[in-house]
Amino acid sequence: MSALSNIRVDYETEKTLAAGSIVAGYTIVGTRFANNVRLLVLQNLTDVAVTFSFDGERDAITLPSNGQIVLDWGSDKSNQAADWVQAINSGVWVKRSGVPTTGSVYVSAFYAAGPN
């Protein structure tokens, strides 16, 4: 019987983009990821719907005003090598559907930092 090891969770600094910086074409939110992301939280705290993309070209997820989604690719796995992840150096982009006047969008990323 093999012993299970615990994987320590860590997170990247929250990424944000203010309403006035969200345009009709895609703009990256913050910077690209420095780690393989296992859990991602997208929040739209603006006053209009926005669309998120993972490549800056294709629509992936549209969130209404004050909407959020949690994308969990592998937080419950113990073997980091076998998990689905949002890859290092990838990012999240956003574009508007209307003209936001207040608020921001937020991207929170969590990753496996290694065994305890």
| Structural class in CATH, domain 7-76+83-115 | mainly beta
- Is the pLDDT at 1 greater than 60? The verdict is no
Q: Which amino acid is at 94?
A: V
Write down the domain spans for the chain: 7-76+83-115
Tell me which of 4 and 71 has the higher pLDDT: 71
- Is the pLDDT at 6 greater than 70? The verdict is yes
Please write the tens of the pLDDT for every residue from 32-47. 999 999 899 999 999 9
For the question of whether the overall pTM of this predicted structure is more than 0.85, the answer is: yes
Please write the tens of the pLDDT for every residue from 75-94. 666 555 556 788 899 999 99
